[in-house]
Structure 1
Amino acid sequence: MKELKFRAWNKIRKVMSYDVTLYANGWVDCVFEDGSEDKYPPKIAKEILVIMQYIGLKDKNGKEIYEGDIDNCDEELMYVIYKDGSFGLKFLNPVQGEENYFDDFINWDVLEIIGNVYENEELISA
């Protein structure tokens, strides 16, 4: 059974928490790298947090892979998404008319995560 973990991007503070607890009543608890801790009621959490799930796998360097992570796949930037009940990859800048999403036969352990769509905006605009 894969490990169920989450991270959260705080859109206001512009900081990522890798220590996230989701409660059945909708509350979210985030502990940030600086040691600060924020607790959010459901309505506020939905407005200011982007919650991403760990996919249960690691890249070729042993780094945990989460939704929103960016991979430089054969010089083509792709990011991890959850769609139709599974995790897959989507081109950051798809060529018009090309397939934009892949979920079959991804060899996750050869990917190299180079950042994520929230903390590394310079990769998105490249």
Structure 2
Amino acid sequence: MREIKFRGKRLDNGKWESGDLLENQGRNFIYHATSESTIEDNDDGRIVVVAVEVDPATIGQYTELKDKNGSDIWEGDIVMAESRDEEYDNLLVGLPFLIMFSYGEFCIAEDEESPWGSISNLDILEVIGNIHDNPELLKGGE
């Protein structure tokens, strides 16, 4: 079964939260199922859960992929390639790339506007940050 989860930065303290994405009345929440986060489990099939509100601009989906160090790769992450990938002859070593979802797949891109290839050869990629906490890592970042 696919592992579908999301992350986003909490509105109350700015920390990252990961789990299930919930939307209610235009607000976005992340819920991570634990015994502490489920308040009440009734016999009527309904449960009451605790979910934290997150900044919608920071929401990203888990790619189900891991980098060369075993770290999860998320939409919005910035990765660095350590060696040439035969599939991408023009992939330059030492340049940061953004992970984004475009054209129905997770891609690498030089910036938020220019996806140019699907993620492959993960053994050369390393997560070095993300677009929300470290935009300066990308070319032209502010």
- What is the TM-score with the length of structure 1 in the denominator? 0.67
Q: Which has the larger radius of gyration?
A: 2
Amino acid at match of 1:3: E
Greater share of residues in helix: 1
Residue among 101, 115, 121 paired with 2:129: 115
Structure 1 unaligned blocks of 5 or more:
32-36, 95-99
| Percent of matched pairs sharing the same residue | 30
The runs of 4+ residues in structure 1 deviating greater than 3 Å are 10-14, 23-27, 37-40
Shift of 1:28: 2.1
Following superposition of structure 1 onto structure 2, how do residues 11-50 of structure 1 map, counting pairs within 5 Å?
13-18=13-18, 20-23=19-22, 28-30=29-31, 38-40=51-53, 48-49=55-56, 50=58
Q: Over aligned residues, Cα RMSD in angstroms?
A: 3.3
Amino acid at match of 1:22: L
- What is the TM-score with the length of structure 2 in the denominator? 0.61
Could you tell me how far apart the structure 2 residues matched to 1:105 and 1:120 are? Answer: 21
Shift of 1:13: 4.2
| Aligned length in residues | 111
Structure 2 unaligned blocks of 5 or more:
33-49, 82-92
Following superposition of structure 1 onto structure 2, how do residues 43-58 of structure 1 map, counting pairs within 5 Å?
48-49=55-56, 50-58=58-66
